[in-house]
Amino acid sequence: MRVAGPPARDHLLSVADLGREGIDEVMRLADSFKEVSARPIPKVPALRGKTVATLFFEASTRTRLSFETAARRLSADVMSFSASTSSLEKGESLRDTIETIDAMGVDAMVVRHRSSGVPAQVTAWTSAVVLNAGDGQHEHPTQALLDCYTIREALSERGGGEPSSDLSGLRIGIVGDIRFSRVARSNVLAFSLLGAEVTLVAPRTLLPSSLEGWPAQATPELDSVLEELDVVYLLRIQTERAGQVLLPDLDEYHSRFGLTRERAARLKPDALIMHPGPMIRGVEIAPEAAELPASLVTRQVRNGVLVRSAVLFRLLAGPGRPAVPTGEDPVA
């Protein structure tokens, strides 16, 4: 008889598992991994002997590679599972697949699945720490963390001061397919926990049926808020979750909600442009707008490795872990 996994606080299923203090701790840990990443050998031995399994039941480029890179930089062993080449194809159940991987002895499972709630369910089938790498339209907590880190970094570079996770006074517009987006759910939570004011911008068909409990306001008019935004965060239409079915026409969407060159020119001079990727140029963003200096898209990807290193370190390095991975322990 399998015993239940560790208590919820030992997993990362939602941004809510961290709260404001937890987010701030991850940001500070990511700062120390930024320092590690600048070394000739960007590696620390913190997770030597631990195994991190990445279990992706849905397509991914950056999230999987980012988690795997982060785990290797901490000297963990990485086990990589892809649904399309697994025994799931032969009819094996999700539970049997998880229990098979668990039996090999893994310390963490990084889970992406098209259905909301799967990472939470997986915690009942393994004693490993479970990290949600995106579940259906529910949450994508490490995306929110890397986005908070990227904004914090950009603001501190601009202001010249110590980085601060306090985003109060900042107005962030999240534009696009809010209804089917897990990134929107995690980011609204994280941005508002850090004090930012969040405005959702979408056609009514791409907003959730109720915004009760969402710490955000909403508008169907991008042009009415564009000039007040400090951050424009664009989302892809989630075609795999019916996003496009609810839109009459992609060209019309682009003209009403896309960050066109003309709209980019009307942004505040120091406004930031963000996108979790994959970007569909010509739909949510014009190709030229994606290349502007204000666009942080590449930085978001780079910071993803730092933030995922921080999260893995925080969950796996154990109670005796140092507050941050020190510089004295590089791995040869």
Distance between start and end Cα atoms, the chain: 42
Among 14, 32, 54, 63, contact with ligand NCD (rule: CB under 6 A): 63
Tell me the DSSP string of 123-140: TTT-SSEEEEEEETTTB-
Min. distance of Cβ 184 from ligand NCD in angstroms? 9
Stretch that binds ligand NCD, among 12-20, 93-101, 275-283, 319-327 (CB under 6 A): 275-283
Instruction: Decide if 63 is catalytic.
Output: yes
Least separation, in Å, of the C-beta of 190 and ligand NCD?
14
Q: Report the 10 Å Cβ neighbour count for 291.
A: 12
Pick one of 22, 136, 276, 325: the residue that binds ligand NCD (CB under 6 A).
Answer: 276
Residue whose C-alpha is closest to residue 143's, from 312, 274, 276: 276
- Which CB sits closer to ligand NCD, 183 or 232? 183
Piece of 95-103, 273-281, 287-295, 311-319 that binds ligand NCD (CB under 6 A): 273-281
34 is catalytic: no
Separation between Cα atoms, residue 202 and residue 214, nearest integer Å: 15
Task: Outline where DSSP puts E strands in the chain.
Answer: 51-56, 77-82, 108-113, 129-135, 171-175, 197-201, 217-219, 231-234, 272-274
* Smaller CB separation from ligand NCD, 11 or 236: 236
Is 62 near ligand NCD (CB under 6 A)? Answer: yes
51 is annotated as an active-site residue:
no
106 Cβ contact list (under 8 Å, min separation 6): 51, 52, 53, 79, 126, 128
Over the window 278 to 297, marking each residue x when it contacts ligand NCD by CB under 6 A and - when it does not, the resulting string is: x-------------------
Closest by Cα among 208, 184, 69 to 134: 184
CA distance 19 to 17: 6
> Which distant-in-sequence residues (6+ apart) come within 8 Å of 85 by Cβ?
none
Report residue 178 as tokens: 């809010």
Q: Choose one: 31-39, 208-216, 217-225, 276-284; the region binding ligand NCD (CB under 6 A).
A: 276-284
Q: Specify the residue, 190 or 324, whose C-beta has the smaller distance to ligand NCD.
A: 190
Instruction: Give whichever of 18 and 237 is closer to ligand NCD, judged by the CB atom.
Output: 237
Q: Out of 101, 183, 207, 271, which residue is the one contacting ligand NCD (CB under 6 A)?
A: 183
Separation between Cα atoms, residue 151 and residue 29, nearest integer Å: 16
* Active-site residue, from 20, 28, 62, 302: 62
143 contributes a contact to ligand NCD by CB under 6 A: yes
Applying CB under 6 A, the site for ligand NCD has a residue count of: 11
4 with 10: CB under 8 angstroms? no
Question: Using CB under 6 A as the criterion, which residues of the chain lie in contact with ligand NCD when the complex forms?
Answer: 62-63, 134, 140, 143, 182-183, 236, 276-278
Active site residues: 62-63, 90, 112, 140
